[in-house]
Structure 1
Amino acid sequence: MSNHTAVITGSTAGLGAAFARQLAAQGYDLVLVARDGDRLRMQAESMSSQYGVGTSVIVADLVTDDGVAAVQERLADRTHPVHLLVNNAGHGLAADFIDSELEDERRLLRLHVQTTLELSHTAASAMARRRGGRIINVASVAGYTPTGTYSAAKAWVINFSKGLHNQLRSRGVTVTALVPGLVRTEFHQRSGIRIKSAKRWMWLEADDVVREALTANAQGAAICVPARSYQMLTAGLRFMPDSMVQWAMEKRTGGSEQAGLEQGGSEADPTMQHGAPGTAEYGTSADGTAEPTTEAINTVDAYKAAKAKSTAKAGRGRDTPPPPPA
């Protein structure tokens, strides 16, 4: 048995599966959490056979109290302490807010916000008592955009993680918000979300994202935005009004407010450059003040052109004299 144990929610696919592989390769024993019991047990057997680590599974639906309680029980076990919690389980919605079922919206909020809060509280309490531990909460670049309830939930995850990091770092606990953009996983397909006109540089590989997240967390970072391209993009978002960000997101995703930047998709760019793990210093001046990036400037110019065209068209309509009376 290893001296370290990691609990990973949503472990059977995407970023969760990448976390499982990389942590097993580092010698962590794994507690794998997901809803699909058969797939979960197959994953556990594979990790144990390939890496020689201890594995256990918790079959749980994390939008239910019973499912969350099962994971909390393991996180609170003092005889077998958990050293790293990865809150990765998540899903999106393909429809806009008023077109979604209210119960679907509740489940999204439950999973991304309440479940993350509850599991983090249990894990952080146990870790603080031992004066050591690590938590990674998977958020999204969508959390920096005003594009619907999914982005609002991820904005909560980012700010919650930053605040918890500040509270706990003096007690030996590091909390990191992982803020990826589009990642090659099953996320969008499972959520029924269609991504439209995304540039090739926007797609990241799950293994690269997880590698940067683990490095940033080990180094004590509160935020990890993987890849230099997204570090520059998030810096540029500070200069854009909400209406402009909304316009740009609709151009990328085909209009659905829920289809924010997050795990999923295809076609990664093999020439993409990645930034230093766990940092967000790209696109900043020497004094630390963020500067607009080329991508941000291009988006601003395109937005202004589209707005000017729309205004001119509306103006022509108002200026057209009425037809003469018959």
Structure 2
Amino acid sequence: MSDEKTTPPEGGPEKGTKPEAVGTPREDATTPGADRPVEGDKATAEKADASAAVKPGEPAPAGTQRTSAAALEAGSQNVPAGVEPGARTPLDVVDVRTGLFGVSGTGDTSGFGGLVRTIAMPGPSERPYGGWFDEVVDILTEVLDESGTGFANAVESVVVDRGELTLNVAREHLVEVVQQLRDDPDLRFELSLGVSGVHFPHDAGRELHAVYQIVSVTHGRRLRLEVAVPEGDPHVPSTTAVYPANDWHERETWDFFGIVFDGHPGLARIQMPDDWPGHPQRKDYPLGGIPVEYKGATIPPPDQRRSYS
């Protein structure tokens, strides 16, 4: 065995100094959190963060709408060809949430109660959209203009975000839009994956959203349609005449979110009991914590079952 002593690596701790424990954070003037407020200032800091957040209905600051060229190259932002790197689609702020899951005033000591999150949705995109997106929008524009409806009247906005194309459709023209998307040979979105609901309580006048995912098996494309309606008038035309498989999806969306699909052949609850109050997947639905048991369920004979036609 050798008696040679191992020489400390260059740049290591000097003789006589105590090495720092592994994993021990070191705070100095450049360390984030070095000026961390004391516990007594926690509530004041949380209020300051909340007041500084962008309020619903206000555009997000330009500084928060930019991204680095490296991030663009990594695919984190969909920027069409010809658009200068760093530009982003403007965002529409719909809510500012405070606390963990919007809950505050609890005994939670994890620090999540001080969270302040600005909830924003991508706004309209500008051409070129990129790839086949432009082709689909151009063809749909042509067929809607020829029918007399007009693309500008039927489609409120075109959004390209995270590599996906979304058309925000006016509810009164929804059926015609899906009919054209399904039947036109250059579009051929012949498959609907269903409809789901989303509730944005702070998106004034557009609180309830019906979201449709449709697929063109012929052309290998996927498109999202979105219809927004107010809570006070939650009516959307049924698409079952165009996509019959949406039947039970529309029933489930009505059951959980309260969106009424006009013209549906049998709009009844599908998950909850018939006498269930309210629509439990809305964000303002109370969490009662009351156990509920399904009792007395029976299966009537086929000739006595509820008819949906």
Q: TM-score, normalised by structure 1?
A: 0.27
Name whichever structure is richer in strand by fraction. Answer: 2
Higher CA-based Rg: 2
Q: TM-score, normalised by structure 2?
A: 0.28
Name whichever structure is richer in helix by fraction. Answer: 1
